[in-house]
Amino acid sequence: MSSDPFGRDADGLSKPSRRRFVQGLAAGGAIAGLGLWPKPAWALKGPGNANVLSGTEFDLTIGETPMAFTGRVRSAVTVNGSLPAPVLRWREGSTVNLRVSNALPAGSVHGQQTSIHWHGILLPANMDGVPGLSFDGIHRGQTYRYRFDVRQGGTYWYHSHSGFQEQAGLYGALIIDPVEPEPFAYDRDYVVLLSDWTDLDPRRLFSRLKKMPMYDNHALRTVGDFMRDAGRDGLAATLADRRQWGRMRMSPTDLSDVNANTYTYLLNGSTSLGNWTGLFRGGEKLRLRFINGSAMTHFDVRIPGLKMTVVAADGQYVHPVTVDEFRIATAETYDVIVEPSGQDAFTIFAQDMGRTGYVAGTLAVREGLRAPVPPVDPRPLLSMADMGHGGMAAAKAGEMACGANMGMPGMDHGAKPGMGHGAGMQSHPASETGNPLVDMQAMSPVAKLDDPGIGLRDNGRKALSYSMLKSAFDDPDGREPGREIELHLTGHMERFAWSFDGRKFADAEPLRLNYGERLRIVLVNDTMMTHPIHLHGMWSDLEDAQGGFLVRKHTIDMPPGSRRSYRVRADALGDWAYHCHLLYHMEAGMMRTVRVGEGIA
Amino acid sequence: MKTLATGLFGLALLSATPAFAQQADHSKMDHSKMDRAAPAAKAEPARDARAPAAQTAIEHAQMDHSSMGHDMSGMQGMAMPRADGRPATPVPPPTDADRAAAVPPAGGHAMHGTTRQYYVLFNRLEGFDAGPGSGQAWEAHGWVGGDRSKLWLRSEGERSGGHAESADLEVLYGRAFARWWEVVAGVRHDFKPGAAQDFVAVGVQGLAPYKFEVAATAYLGRSGQAGARLEVEYETRLSDRWILQPLFELEFHGKDDARRGIGSGLGTAEAGARLRYEVTRQFAPYIGIVHERAFGRTSGMRRAAGEEVRDTRLVAGLRFWF
């Protein structure tokens, strides 16, 4: 094991020694998880990236491993005994063979069946790892052989697509070395995989969300807040504000469904106390591969004192853009280059979007150092503009809960769909009308591509927005979409019901695409939550506000009140999952099957 | 202007530069030298519509990508419709292997969104000081089912001086019919007061604007006795954990029932306020004050029986759910 596990001679190690090393980590990972140990033993061996498997042949065993992140021991779902699962390192142009075995014990709370989905990877449908769509799943005692050609490079990840196993620990980084030289240089390479851990049985957490969706919101507005707001904004304005939210039966403090009141956030499987550390020498360039492997958490990431240059999004090169901070939605990946200098240590700080907690790690010149950890930012409030009930001007006005612009004067019903101007009143599918599972509809949603998102506006830092992400290549397909599908993200906060167009997965027919066609998908968020939407098997080519090609992604984040469009080239036969990547939203029904066939649409 | 430029550019691209080569160029180019500050103009030769189309294309093909500005807005034209309708990167024709790989498994996918859940709330489980002694009361409800359809159980009752004054249990089918409302229908069984009796129950419940929890139910008994109950509840957050819960309840009766001390018309109204402290979301002790008043013929019957028409109680209890 070289000290740089991502060294240029990645193929070097013989498999047996690699295997033994991995087994050694099983215990190490568990101990590191305690968070009380000053230094995880394994971090000394391979700074930052302890657990890397590379080559074309892989044996992955899924089982249960006791872990203790909060002091209590719980059984996590692990790969080869490790949480996160081992970093897999492939090479573009190779054919990988992955033998995945299910060694979950009988009666496991995590179920009898398992699976691995290779997130963002182009592959044949039966290799995609979604039980019931791509294959039967891997039952206890069975081994499934994944074998496919690797046709892309970049940073991706993999995770279970069975039950709630992803929440319980089955996620890991996937790194594919490209054939062509990369368009940027760096000296060291680290994976920074963010995730959320709970001691609860995830099924119980899901039930809790069904019983009391607001459970984790400890910021519901109080009488004291009313007095303070009335003093600051005047009684009339405060009453008007409360009236708006009261009529909607919603709370502007609902930024996420599950937050740090339930979760312990992890960075490469370490709590903040565990302090994952990536080493550097002054003057070096580090490549940090951020992966959000969480179940339900949007993270806002920054490294105080360092600028980050984003060079890839969802594994695909973008024109370098330098920022202080970025929001990473569940399932997204961002590769950034940093050049630490002038300090011995820097804190990698990732706070949740709801501002309830954080996880921190360190970049340092040697083990054992820490830099100051900043406080969690103040909690923002959703405004009516955030909810899609205001015009552009209202949206720009920031997070003040100003009046909803209900009757937009001069609205344009004939606004061209898919252009995302949001100039007009949004129309809605008939299936939403009178639907008890749809608790709101955005009235004038806009693309919001240049909006870094709630809590990141005007905070004195330069935050990434989607409009800054520009693929470093032209639209690889180049065709105008031949047709357009508009889908609305829908839900009901009180019932914790989630769906597309008001229809849950169980009640919906597959979306049918013709093999080879190019189509535009327009998403409209009719909920107050932020949903990262992931299409399996094919790229999602996000469009800018003018309908031009902006950036190639596998997961498109949809803040409340947004309307975004992207192009899909249906070049992969079969049934593919299409869903919100917030695990409990998917489980509640926010999912569709996309069926790509020859002459079926 | 831009459209024209785009069109020319597209034409030029097709004639002079195979799109594929274009792709390859990009993958080889050195992005590391890319300079965000570089003038965007360099990337916009196609904007000059006066330039001959072919020359434009050549310029583009030969231009220095390494110094390309970060601002690609000038390149929007790249996403133009291709004249021949063919993709820049050809879509490979599907092979038999692709077709075989695309056959979905027989079992089908687990149905997301169909789980059956349950919920039980003891909204009030309390003791009170009644005039001459003390008593206990409860109000609980729960459900089992999915997002749209639920089986509801509701129960309310009161003991004082060691024996049950009233106790009922409702079993209802609930169906969500609007954003915030569901209709319920089923049966109610009264264990007390008096001899047991049964009703058919129909009602609505849900969340009114401003988050008032409302339940209104009408009852029809076997021997023609009818009644109705309206309950409104609200949660005032004094802080995250201190919650004041006002409650208002009205009971109507269709006809006199002297044995049970019930007169027709508005029978009783109850208003209460309970202040709870949520030790956890699921477990909260509370104290409160409740005022009940009888009206109309019911109050007359109470007077005749020597009972109070108005009653104010202090209560203390627990609210919990699972």
pLDDT of residue A224: 94
Q: Cα-flanking dihedrals φ and ψ of residue A188, to 5°?
A: -135, 160
**Cross-strand partners of A25:** none
pLDDT, tens digit, for every residue of A448-505? 999 999 999 999 999 999 999 999 999 999 999 999 999 999 999 999 999 999 999 9
Determine the pLDDT at residue B4.
Answer: 41
Mark the ranges of chain B whose per-residue pLDDT is less than 50: 1-80
Which alpha helices (H) appear in A175-283, and where do they start and end?
202-211, 223-233, 235-248
Mean pLDDT of A327-340: 98
Record: contact B75-A474, CB cut-off 8 A: yes
pLDDT for the residue A199: 97
Question: Does A404 have pLDDT greater than 80?
Answer: no
Helix runs in A165-233, H state only: 202-211, 223-233
Q: How many CA atoms lie within 13 A of B289 on its CB side?
A: 1
Looking up tokens 């094919």, which residue turns up?
A: A538
Locate all alpha helices (DSSP H) within A258-406, ordered by sequence: 392-396
For residue A575, the chain B residues in CB contact (below 8 A) are 102, 104
A87/A52 Cα distance (integer angstroms)? 5
Tokens 């020319």 locate to B8
Does B26 sit within 8 Å of A472, measured CB to CB?
A: yes
Q: Kindly determine whether residue A504 and residue B70, on different chains, have CB atoms separated by under 8 Å.
A: no
As a whole number of angstroms, the distance between CA A286 and CA A233 comes to: 47
| CB contact A549 to B (< 8 Å) | yes
For residue A536, which of A114, A79, A132 has the smallest C-alpha distance? A132
Which DSSP string corresponds to A128-182? S--BTTTB--EETT-EEEEEEE----EEEEEE--STTTTTTT-EEEEEEE-SSPP
Using pLDDT thresholds of 50, 70 and 90, give the confidence band for residue A424: low
Tell which wins on pLDDT, A158 or B160. A158
Cβ-defined contact of A504 to B98 (cutoff 8 Å): no
Best residue of A311, A379, A477, A587 to probe chain B, by most B CBs closer than 10 Å? A477
Contact criterion met (CB below 8 Å) for A563 and A442: yes
Q: How far is CA A377 from CA A36, A256, A322, A374, in A?
A: 26, 15, 21, 9
User: Which of B30, B72, B181 would best serve as a mutation to test chain A binding (most A beta carbons within 10 A)?
Assistant: B72
Residue A392 pLDDT: 41
Identify the closest residue of chain B to A146 by CA–CA distance: B101
- The Cα–Cα gap between B242 and B239 comes to 5
Whether A436 and B179 lie within 8 Å, measured CB to CB: yes
Asked if B232 contacts B253 with a C-beta cutoff of 8 angstroms, the reply is no
Instruction: With CB atoms and an 8 Å threshold, state whether A479 touches B23.
Output: no
Residue A580 has pLDDT above 60, yes or no: yes
Q: Which residue has the tokens 């274009």?
A: B22
Q: Over 90: is that where the pLDDT of A170 sits? A: yes
Contacts of A219 in chain B (CB under 8 A): 240
Buried b / exposed e over B166-175, threshold 16 CB at 10 Å, is bbbebebebe
| CA nearest to B69 within chain A | A319
CB–CB of A123/A148 below 8 Å? yes
For residue A509, report the phi and psi dihedrals to the nearest 5 degrees. -80, 155
Q: Closest by alpha carbon to A499, among A437, A550, A451, A584?
A: A437
C-beta of residue A276 within 8 angstroms of C-beta of residue A233: no
Judged by a CB distance cut-off of 8 A, whether residue A226 touches chain B is no
Q: Is the CB of A224 less than 8 angstroms away from the CB of B99?
A: no
Q: Which site among B27, B76, B240 would you substitute to test the A interface, given the most A Cβ atoms closer than 10 Å to its Cβ?
A: B27
Chain B positions in Cβ-Cβ contact with residue A247 (cut-off 8 Å) = 209-210
In total, chain A counts a number of residues equal to 601
The answer to whether A497 and B147 have CB atoms below 8 angstroms apart is yes
- Across the interface, whether the CB atoms of B147 and A437 are under 8 A apart is answered yes
CA pair distance A173, A48, nearest whole angstrom: 13
Nearest CA in chain B to A213: B281
Please say whether the beta carbons of A456 and A403 come within 8 A: no
- CA of A253, closest CA in chain B: separation in Å? 12
Whether A212 has a pLDDT exceeding 60, the answer reads yes
Query: Angle B19-28/B53-62 helices, nearest 10 degrees?
Result: 30
Burial class (CB in 10 A: 0-12, 13-18, 19+), B181: middle
A231 has a pLDDT exceeding 50: yes
CB contact under 8 A, A573 and B98: yes
Give the Cα-Cα-Cα angle A212, A248, A295 (nearest 5 degrees).
Answer: 40
The answer to whether the CB atoms of B34 and A586 lie below 8 A apart is: no
pLDDT band for A303, please (50, 70, 90 cuts).
very high
**pLDDT (tens digit, 9 = 90+) per residue, A60-90?**
999 999 999 999 999 999 999 999 999 999 9
Test A474 with B89 for CB contact under 8 angstroms: no
Strand A138-139 and strand A333-338: the pairing is unpaired
Instruction: For B83-96, give the DSSP string.
Output: TT---SSPPPPPPH
Give A53's contacts (C-beta < 8 A, 6+ positions apart). Answer: A18, A22, A86, A87, A88, A89
pLDDT for A50 equals: 64
Q: What pLDDT does A5 receive?
A: 37
Question: With contact defined as beta carbons under 8 Å apart, do A57 and A15 qualify?
Answer: yes
- CB proximity A131 to B under 8 Å: yes
Q: What are the chain B neighbours of A515 within 8 Å (beta carbons)?
A: 91, 94
pLDDT at B85: 77
Chain A residues with beta carbon closer than 8 angstroms to that of B81 = 479-480
- State ipTM: 0.83
Partner-chain contact B76 A548, CB within 8 Å: yes
DSSP 8-state symbol, B33: G
The residue-averaged pLDDT of A245-259 equals 94
Site of tokens 């997130």: A119
A197, A69 Cβ separation under 8 angstroms: yes
CA distance A103 to A138: 10
Contact A535, A523 (CB under 8 A): no
Amino acid at A216: D
pTM of the model: 0.84
